[in-house]
Structure 1
Amino acid sequence: MLKNLNIGTKVNLLLILVFIISILVTSTALSTLLQHRAQNEVTSKALILMRTMNSVRTYTQDRINPLLKSRLETEAQFIPETVPAYSAIKIFEKFRNDEEYKNFIYREATLNPTNLRDKADRFEAQLVERFRQNSNNKEITGFRNLPQGEVFYIARPLAVTQPSCLECHSTVDKAPKSLLATYGTEHGFGWRLNEIVAAQIISVPSEEVFKDAAHTWSLMMGLLIAIFAIIVLLLNFLIKKAIIQRIRKMEKIAQRVSTGDMSVDFEEKSNDEIGGLAVAFNRMKSSLEIALKLLRGQDN
């Protein structure tokens, strides 16, 4: 089939093939790059927030707790500001008051919490169990669908690393009276030293980030397709102008010469390969003219 096609059609088919392959390769590479960039963006946001919350927890544990600890036995109500988790959660609630960050979520999901607000749901409980089953696993990341959309989460284990934590969570008789008065005696006890009791989870909205990446991909692919199309059309025009039209002209002259018209010459001003071919054809035509004259002389 290709044998029956002229050079112009073959060149066009080749350019179209190159165009399609280039678009497919570029599309795949660009999509991978933008997806990776979007992933890095949401991961970066989550890590920054995780470090911030850990800084709040450390400050509460080292500075606030020692200042208020002595009041836990004398106050009628428990002072939650002494608890690192409480401080981190409250500060994050203030952070979420900003409309831009309202869908960001911070959780210290606990299997047996003192405050039932921190009770792990089914998904969070599975994360805690995974940390318990593999103590070397220090971080779990992934995507999760929530009512507000898809989120990217980073989860890290929270373990009882200090004996002071067990003052509130070991047994009821050792817990501060104010804690029992506020939260009761049913939850948050039986913790053991070095036991993983919770998962610290930061969830960052990812749906918009990946939508933006897809939108960027569409715009860039549209631009690249337009650029490639212009390049293909320009190449097609130049090839026709510089090669195909010159070859067709030589073909027409060769047809005339083949019928005995020796009044035409293969005219080519360029010194390229086609110009060299024209010179060779002119020499061949001259040789043919000489041979014809010799044949006519012999006939006479």
Structure 2
Amino acid sequence: MQVLKGAEVSAKIKEEVQGLLASVEGPAPKLAIVRVGERPDDMSYERGAIKKMENFGLRVQSYVFPGDIGDAEFKEHFAAINRDSDVAGILLLRPLPGQICESDIEKMIDPAKDLDGISPANIAKVFAGDESGFAPCTAEAVMEVLRAFDISPKGKRVTIVGRSMVVGRPLSMLMLKANATVTICHTKTADLEGTCRNAEILVAAAGRAKMLDKRFVGQDAVVIDVGINVDENGKLCGDVDYASLDGTASAATPVPGGVGAVTTAVLAKHLVRAALAGK
């Protein structure tokens, strides 16, 4: 089974970003990471994003607010970040605490700085097949992995387990644009096992540790695991029981070291794109 390592994909994206950076005038583009509270997964993603931006030669600044900040106060701070001309792109770590109206923030964010595709304008562009918008970074990272390893979705049966607006739904649109035949599965899908086994490319994005094992995987299928979970031993794992895949899948992404490593590279690429579009 071929191991689809995210580091190899990230390195290719870095080369692409370096080429784009040559066209950027003045200082390197700046990313604003906005975090509310101290959620461990948010902080872990933030650390990874900062490291990636610096490694790619980009600027990054974190804007951290207390978990109990009020809705009006947070919106005031967010609006200031949003209109800062030195900020080329914004990454908002979600979900936000309950007292903040997240949908209001999604409508507030400047679509041109919305690097993770949360604004209604960018979501509409993804569903319309308009590449001028920003797709969610994780969904696009899946496509980058396939592209890097010359795995074309064209004409293939692609099954996505998960229907969130972060991965499942936007990814289905990206796959359709790549001429795949797409099936989206979820907890109410009848015969989930059989539906998954019929896929030539299977994407696991359900958010449940080791939910899928080799029984769900067709012979020689490609398995892309988007899940990031903690198993019973406190170790990071995906939505797929990776150890069971040998002899069934032809290729698969590991967790950690797979799609997650590519997501922050896509974020960097989006940042440079935003800077060039705003020249």
- TM normalised by structure 2 equals 0.23
- Please identify which structure carries the higher strand content: 2
- Please identify which structure carries the higher helix content: 1
- TM normalised by structure 1 equals 0.22
Bigger Rg over Cα = 1
Q: Which has the higher contact order (CA 8 A, sep 6+)?
A: 2
